[in-house]
Amino acid sequence: MRADEREAFDAFVRARLPHLIRFGRVLTGSNEAAQDLVQDALERTLLAWSRIDSRDDPEGYVRRIMVNRNISIWRKFGREHLVDEAVDRATEDRHFDDDLWQALKTLPPKQRAVIALRYYEDLSEVDIARTLGCSVGTVKSQASKALAKLREIVPSRL
């Protein structure tokens, strides 16, 4: 690298470093990670400085490197966080589940089918009517009656 290119790069870094670090902090959420990202981007930029110095926007080139590197780092390391012990945050409400299953068993077959198709299979009223061979109005009335009965039987949760 020629001396004048080196001086131009140094001047660029001195002038734009605070802005690049601030941009890196926005990308990474961490001051330390931002500094590492900027350093990596500036190293890559230095290698290509003779090609980009003549461009109007060398900062855009550096920012693009920062974005691409941050995405690469995130893909490689960002999705998984290792811990000493696995934390089990799942909770089960078996009592409620059992009560609900028992309440569902008390419904007439057509109401039970409507509830299962609507809330378990996530079908639309039109699809349920087609499946059961009845009208959409029948599906709506059966669902309404079934939910009313379930609310009576298991009132605390529905």
* Rounded distance between C-alpha atoms, residue 144 and residue 25, angstroms: 53
Q: Where are the domains of the chain?
A: 3-78, 98-153
Average pLDDT, the chain: 81
pLDDT of 12 higher than 80: yes
Q: Using alpha carbons only, what angle is made at residue 22 by residues 21 and 23, rounded to the nearest 5 degrees?
A: 90
Q: Cβ atoms within 10 A of the Cβ of 82, count?
A: 4
Residue among 86, 96, 115, 92 at smallest CA distance from 155: 96
Cβ neighbours of residue 140 under 8 Å, at least 6 residues apart?
Answer: 125
pLDDT score at 116: 79
Residue among 137, 132, 92, 98 at smallest CA distance from 112: 132
Q: Which CATH class is domain 3-78?
A: mainly alpha
Tokens coding 51: 């090609």
pLDDT of 83 higher than 60: no
Tokens coding 90: 């799942």
Decide which of 1.10.10.10, 1.10.3720.10, 3.90.320.10, 3.90.550.10 is the CATH code for 98-153.
Answer: 1.10.10.10
Handedness of CA 88, 94, 97, 101 (dihedral sign): positive
pLDDT of 74 higher than 90: no
